[in-house]
Structure 1
Amino acid sequence: MDKPVFLLPTSQNTVLNRLLAPFFPRYKVLLELEKQPPHLRGTLRNLIMTQDHRLLFLRNQKCACTQTTQILYAYANHGEPHKGNVHRADRGILPARYRWMEIKPYFEAHVPYFFTFVRHPEARVRSAFRNFFVDQTNIARHKHMGPMRAHGFDPAQGEARNFDVFLDYIAHSFELDRLNTDTHWRLQTDNIAFRDITYDHIGRVENYEADLRHVFAQAGAADFPLDALLARRFNSTASARADITPEQRRKIETLYAPDYEALGY
């Protein structure tokens, strides 16, 4: 298949990044992470640590990662969430995209309570589809719009047909380079390095509130006022309008078989 697909770069050790690294932390982090095994670089860049070093969170895209990051930010900021894009915040929380070298010793010593969230593969892939290609609210959507059109995406053709196109696009991405597929629809077992990293807790989006309360309690922060924050929704995606077809479900089960098996869905 010769249709284009947007894939993540295999290496960040570029001339531009080397030139910018002395001046901007995000580029220095990219080069530091080049010292890690290739399949862990993206994962480690998605770590978020609280300022008191009690909690360490791994962002698994389309699995309440914005919601959880906002709550972690509020935890250190008098209950107030971040007013902008929390994934670009470099104060109030310690994101590895800017602070990997600071997080690294805590991660390696397994000092903070370390957790992540996973989600039913079917719900997750439908959420990604709507976020990028129906609501078109994801800031990275422009990277995929051209390749998706080349695969047959056409808003005038309706959501059900375009979801078929999206599943074909995912299959093509996996065929070319599963590891460097966009993290919003890459396998969750790849996103969280399931076979390589040990977590204190892997929560489920389907049981989000109870799991998050458990995490804070285990980290010694059970008194943090979660109620008001849990009632808010950050970066929520509307439910798909079209029902999923049996054929689409079979495609998802085939594409995400490692997630179904490893995560117990």
Structure 2
Amino acid sequence: MKPGGPRMDKPVYLAPDTNNTLVNRLLAPFFPRYRVLMELEREPLHMRGPLRNLILSHDKRFLFLRNQKCACTQTTQLLYAYGNLGETYPGNVHRADKGIYAARYRWPDIRPVFEAHMAYLFTFVRHPETRAHSAFRNFFVDQKNIARHKHMGPMKAHGYDPARGEDYNFDVFLDYVAHTFEIDRLRTDSHWRLQVDNVAWKDIRFDAVGRVESYEADIRRIFAEGGAPDFPPAHLLAERHNVSGAARTAVTPAQRARIETLYAPDYEAFGY
């Protein structure tokens, strides 16, 4: 089976288009993360994902919008350390509910800060080519992502075969991305969704948009402009979190052309 063939009869995994389910309604009175899902139902569909990905520092000075596969774990760890005497979170920082305000648990605390633009609001973006390849490796080569099981069956239906090697399977992955975009761009997994959709580019006014390619200089500038010029210290910048393994094969010219087509809005918006 070769990638690139007819795909409309093949399954894909898409995020739900609503969280207003019986289970979420029943659990909302008891668990904050379900309560937040129900509260975000009041927002426009295209804003629910970005708003749920906001992270607010302990002093409400910095507000970060996580853009998946764009140093979001690294940056969330720095925000956690900023409020916890330089100590990073020992586990999955995206599940932390102390030391930072994560919108997935604390949207009511973040909402007034966001709506009044009271905090320094920033995000990070990344070259679409390296971001797409990083997502592919994280899910289907290193298999480190906890959500990979949602996509393994559909990817196999599209032709994924570990025995065929990375070059072949990256073509399969690009087929899978194209298929999900055709069905519903917004419901595509946020790890390879368009960055303009992840950060609601047309709707949110940022104080800074850093680039992964110049991460150290940009994060220092962000903290300085936000009022914390002495943060982060060098040893925290030296730590690396959720790094994908090094690629064994380069992106081919044909794959590069496909990425440029699929992610044209990101290239245009962010100047890549």
TM-score category by the smaller chain? over 0.9
Partner of 1:120 in structure 2?
127
Correspondence list, 1:1-265, <5 A: 1-265=8-272
The separation in 2 between residues aligned to 1:228 and 1:53, in whole angstroms, is: 24
TM-score by length of 1: 0.99
Q: Deviations over 1:78-126 (max 9, x none)?
A: 1000000000001110000000011000000000100000000000000
The answer to whether the 8 A contact 2:220-2:231 is kept is no
TM-score by length of 2: 0.97
The answer to whether the 8 A contact 1:127-1:239 is kept is no
The separation in 2 between residues aligned to 1:205 and 1:45, in whole angstroms, is: 21
Cα displacement (A) at 1:244: 1.1
Q: Deviations over 1:219-245 (max 9, x none)?
A: 111122421111010011122111111
The answer to whether the 8 A contact 2:124-2:212 is kept is yes
The separation in 1 between residues aligned to 2:231 and 2:130, in whole angstroms, is: 29
Q: 3-state SS of the aligned residue for 1:253?
A: helix
Letter in 1 for 2:27: L
The separation in 1 between residues aligned to 2:164 and 2:102, in whole angstroms, is: 40
The separation in 2 between residues aligned to 1:223 and 1:167, in whole angstroms, is: 42
Change (3 A) 1:209 1:155: same
Change (3 A) 1:208 1:225: closer
The separation in 2 between residues aligned to 1:240 and 1:256, in whole angstroms, is: 20
Runs of 4+ in structure 1 deviating by more than 2 angstroms, as ranges, are none
The separation in 2 between residues aligned to 1:90 and 1:152, in whole angstroms, is: 39
Give unpaired runs (5+ residues) of structure 1: none
Q: Which moved more, 1:237-246 or 1:115-124?
A: 237-246
Work out the percentage of aligned pairs sharing the same amino acid: 70
Letter in 2 for 1:200: D
Letter in 2 for 1:33: L
Q: 3-state SS of the aligned residue for 2:29?
A: coil
Equivalent pairs counted in the alignment come to: 265
The separation in 2 between residues aligned to 1:239 and 1:101, in whole angstroms, is: 40
Q: 3-state SS of the aligned residue for 2:245?
A: coil
Cα displacement (A) at 1:256: 0.2
Q: 3-state SS of the aligned residue for 1:147?
A: helix
Letter in 2 for 1:72: L
Q: 3-state SS of the aligned residue for 1:198?
A: coil
The separation in 2 between residues aligned to 1:196 and 1:6, in whole angstroms, is: 26
Q: Deviations over 1:25-44 (max 9, x none)?
A: 00000000001000000110
Letter in 2 for 1:18: R
Cα displacement (A) at 1:4: 0.3
